[in-house]
Structures are given as structure tokens and as C-alpha cells.
Amino acid sequence: MLRIAVDQAQCVGHGRCYALAPDVFGPDDFGHCEILIDEVAPGSMMEAQARLGAQNCPEQAIVISD
Ligand code: SF4
């Protein structure tokens, strides 16, 4: 499984991650990113969503690791 994490110190709440990948990321009460699913299967649609969100985060706050 691949692990999804967000560095809250980097996240400023643009919201691009949860706009593009709402099954993996959501907003917390302040509009910052909240991880909805912290593990995804390699090659899955959820991995594709997680990577889409990560690639579109202007702060590079989202980390995907195995
Ligand atoms: S796109 Fe990046 S900075 Fe914006 S809410 Fe998502 S993780 Fe935070």
C-alpha cells in the first residue's frame, strides 16, 4: 500500500487537492487539507486521485510514499 500524508506546516488551504480529488482529500474547518484515506493500493483509481491532488498542490504539501 502507498501512504498518503499532508504536511500541515506547508498546507495553506488553496483547496486544489480536495477540488480535484475529493475521495482522498477533504477540507478541515479552516479549509486546510484533511486526508480522508491514508493508504491506497498501487495502480488503483484512488492512487491516481492521490497523485493528481499531490501534483496540483502549489505548496507541495502532499507526500505519497511506499
Ligand atoms: S492543495 Fe496543498 S496547500 Fe492547498 S489545501 Fe491541498 S494540501 Fe493544502
The reply to whether ligand 1 has any atom less than 6 angstroms from the CB of 34 is: no
pLDDT string in tens for the chain (66-residue length): 999 999 999 999 999 999 999 999 999 999 999 999 999 999 999 999 999 999 999 999 999 999
Question: Do strands 25-27 and 2-6 pair parallel, antiparallel, or not at all (unpaired)?
Answer: unpaired
Residue at grid coordinates 500524508: 5
Domain boundaries along the sequence of the chain:
2-65
pLDDT number for residue 64? 98
* Whole-angstrom Cα Rg for the chain: 10
CA of 54 from ligand 1 middle (Å) equals 8
CATH class of the region 2-65: alpha beta
Atom of ligand 1 nearest to the CA of 6: 7
The reply to whether ligand 1 has any atom less than 6 angstroms from the CB of 59 is: yes
Report how far residue 49's alpha carbon sits from residue 61's, in angstroms, rounded to the nearest whole number.
Answer: 15
